């Protein structure tokens, strides 16, 4: 389907109107400064995030993501351009279904639930469940069928859950790049590149900290244009080497953080993506504001989760502020 920038006039206007509902940095500041967990919940209730008659905050957060995607589906001239943003949920769902299926088979259960599925996703979670239950991986979307079949083999033959995890996580990153490349949008490709390159940095960092071998890295890392996979895998032998390598890449600002803390690096990666999508604020015709809105919504939900978790554990406001991510508005 050929879509040009003019076709996004309606979609962008709807998104701009909905951006008014995003939490601003002062909202996040207010939430972080709330006296207690209950006060934070009250604030979210005032903002319409949660209803007073529901105490399931987790479900409220999930529905925020689902509503954002529902809006995008409604307004986007071609929703497949945005698939790269959610394709990782499909791989998560395959992972959850496979693990549940293998566990159910091992313990002799006849049914398995599928409670850990993520939405929104490209394939319906029910379709994923059925495909795994019937071991009919051809019923899955093209981008996932081979990875699902290979992971199933690994789980059945070696019962190596960790290997299955990294195989599917790496396939998810490769699918993100692949989905982005099928679009004609430079912004989509750049966004996918930032998502995957920062994911690679986090994987390499964890591998360096835990002393994982080269084979692990070869499986876990994905191919990106801005970070050479082999060079990154070689550098991940130690944290110092990794920091040295990263300092010479476009992600050089992360080098110092690699030496300090995992939480700071995670935050930097999220902020890097947010900084990348900031330019969409000045684009009025095109897919960019739609992508930025979804990423902004995800960042907002992450911020709310972090703040609520900190409030539940009675962490001081300063500690919360160190953890919150950049917001879009």
Partner 1 sequence: MDKYGLAFAVLGAILAALMPGIASAKGVGMVGEAAAGVVSEDPSKFSKVLILQLLPGTQGLYGLLTAVLLLSKIGVLGGQPEDLTFAKGMLYFISCLPMVIVGFFSAIRQARTAVAGVSIVAKKPEHSGKAITFAAMVETYAILALLISVLAFSSIN
- The site for partner 1 (CB under 8 A) is made up of 6, 9-20, 75, 284-285
Give 37 or 284: the residue with its C-beta nearer to partner 1.
284
Alpha helix stretches (DSSP H) within the chain:
9-19, 25-32, 37-46, 57-75, 87-107, 125-133, 142-158, 161-181, 186-210, 214-220, 229-235, 239-247, 254-260, 262-277, 288-312, 317-323
Give 14 or 325: the residue with its C-beta nearer to partner 1.
14
How many angstroms separate the CA atoms of 263 and 139, rounded?
39
Question: Considering only CA atoms, which of 83, 93, 52, 283 is closest in space to residue 183?
Answer: 83
Question: Considering only CA atoms, which of 235, 237, 243, 234 is closest in space to residue 261?
Answer: 243
Give 73 or 312: the residue with its C-beta nearer to partner 1.
73
161-181 and 186-210 helices, crossing angle to 10°? 160
The distance of closest approach from Cβ of residue 189 to partner 1 in the complex, given in angstroms and rounded to an integer, is 24
Give 75 or 94: the residue with its C-beta nearer to partner 1.
75
> Whats the size of the chain, residue-wise?
329
- List C-alpha distances in Å: 1 to 56, 110, 133: 40, 43, 34
Question: Considering only CA atoms, which of 260, 121, 99 is closest in space to residue 113?
Answer: 99
The distance of closest approach from Cβ of residue 75 to partner 1 in the complex, given in angstroms and rounded to an integer, is 7
Question: Considering only CA atoms, which of 281, 235, 227 is closest in space to residue 251?
Answer: 227
The distance of closest approach from Cβ of residue 10 to partner 1 in the complex, given in angstroms and rounded to an integer, is 4
Give 75 or 144: the residue with its C-beta nearer to partner 1.
75
- Whether the CB-CB separation of 288 and 280 falls below 8 Å is answered with yes
The 10 Å Cβ neighbour count of residue 37 is: 17
Looking from the CA of 58 toward its CB, the CA atoms found within 13 Å total 3
How many angstroms separate the CA atoms of 8 and 298, rounded?
22
How many angstroms separate the CA atoms of 202 and 262, rounded?
8
Give 77 or 244: the residue with its C-beta nearer to partner 1.
77
Residue 196 backbone phi and psi in degrees, to 5 = -75, -40
């Amino acid at each position: 389907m050929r879509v040009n920038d003019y076709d996004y006039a309606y979609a962008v206007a709807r998104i701009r109107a909905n951006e008014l509902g995003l939490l601003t940095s002062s909202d996040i500041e207010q939430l972080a400064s709330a006296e207690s967990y209950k006060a934070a919940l009250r604030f979210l209730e005032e903002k319409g995030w949660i209803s007073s008659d529901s105490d399931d905050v987790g479900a409220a957060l999930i529905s925020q993501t689902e509503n954002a995607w529902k809006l995008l589906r409604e307004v986007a001239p071609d929703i497949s351009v945005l698939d790269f943003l959610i394709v990782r949920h499909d791989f998560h769902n395959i992972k959850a279904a496979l693990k549940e299926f293998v566990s159910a088979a091992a313990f002799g259960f006849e049914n398995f639930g599928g409670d850990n599925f993520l939405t929104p996703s490209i394939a319906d979670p029910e379709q994923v469940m059925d495909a795994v239950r019937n071991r009919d991986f051809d019923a899955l979307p093209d981008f996932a069928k081979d990875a699902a079949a290979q992971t199933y083999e690994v789980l059945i033959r070696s019962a190596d859950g960790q290997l299955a995890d990294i195989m599917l996580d790496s396939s998810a990153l490769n699918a993100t790049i692949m989905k982005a490349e099928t679009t004609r949008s430079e912004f989509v490709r750049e966004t996918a590149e930032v998502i995957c390159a920062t994911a690679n940095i986090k994987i390499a960092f964890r591998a360096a900290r835990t002393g994982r071998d080269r084979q692990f890295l070869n499986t876990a890392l994905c191919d990106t244009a801005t970070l050479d996979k082999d060079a990154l895998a070689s550098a991940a032998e130690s944290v110092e080497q990794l920091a040295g390598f990263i300092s010479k890449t476009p992600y050089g600002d992360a080098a110092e953080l690699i030496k300090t803390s995992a939480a700071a690096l995670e935050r930097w990666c999220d902020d890097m993506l947010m900084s990348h999508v900031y330019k969409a604020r000045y684009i009025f015709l095109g897919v960019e504001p739609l992508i930025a809105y979804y990423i902004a919504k995800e960042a907002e939900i992450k911020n709310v989760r972090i703040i609520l978790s900190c409030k539940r554990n009675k962490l001081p406001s300063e500690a919360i502020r160190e953890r919150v991510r950049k917001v879009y508005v």
